[in-house]
């Protein structure tokens, strides 16, 4: 008999600070909205942005992987699905006021790192890509 996880992980619960609607400015412009699925094991991000002059619309599902019959994984991971057919994987970590989102695996050279303001109404940071790419990005709670 396998043990059933009855509570979302502490690492996932830290992302409760993201719940709500945010206006995004910087290298991508628009709106993102975070909400919990019932049970709070998965956080959904609804994305409506314009980036490089193109619409970037999609849905991201964020949580701990728990394959059938196995315990939940330690990392908070996500998969983003967009309106052009892309699927992108990320790993989330929120430590104190610093949010890090790695593109692909934890520790990847492609990542976002942002800092929550003391009142929690903004997250100011930057996407960093290997080879010197990237862009600043600020989210402001709407």
**Cβ contacts of 12 within 8 Å, gap of 6 or more:** 40, 41, 43, 62, 63, 64, 76
pLDDT digits (tens, 9 = 90+) for 80-117: 999 999 999 999 999 999 999 999 999 999 999 999 99
Q: How far apart are the first and last CA of the chain?
A: 46
**Cβ contacts of 70 within 8 Å, gap of 6 or more:** 2
- pLDDT for the residue numbered 6: 76
| Total residue count of the chain as it appears in this document | 142
pLDDT digits (tens, 9 = 90+) for 58-89: 999 999 999 998 888 999 999 999 999 999 99
Whole-angstrom Cα distance, residue 74 to residue 90? 14
pLDDT category, 1, cuts 50, 70, 90?
A: very low
Contact between residue 48 and residue 30 where contact means Cβ atoms under 8 Å apart? yes
pLDDT digits (tens, 9 = 90+) for 29-65: 999 999 999 999 999 999 999 998 999 999 999 999 9
């Amino acid at each position: 008999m396998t043990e059933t996880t009855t509570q979302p992980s502490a690492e996932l619960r830290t992302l409760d600070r993201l719940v709500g609607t945010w206006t995004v400015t910087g290298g991508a412009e628009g709106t993102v909205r975070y909400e919990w699925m019932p049970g709070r094991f998965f956080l959904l991000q609804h994305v409506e942005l314009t980036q490089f002059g193109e619409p970037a619309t999609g849905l991201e599902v964020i949580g701990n992987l728990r394959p059938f019959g196995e315990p939940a994984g330690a990392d908070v991971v996500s998969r983003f699905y967009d309106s052009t057919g892309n699927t992108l994987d990320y790993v989330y970590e929120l430590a104190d006021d610093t949010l890090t989102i790695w593109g692909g695996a934890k520790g990847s050279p492609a990542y976002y790192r942002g800092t929550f303001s003391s009142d929690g109404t903004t997250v100011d940071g930057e996407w960093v890509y290997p080879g010197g790419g990237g862009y600043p990005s600020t989210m402001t709670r709407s």
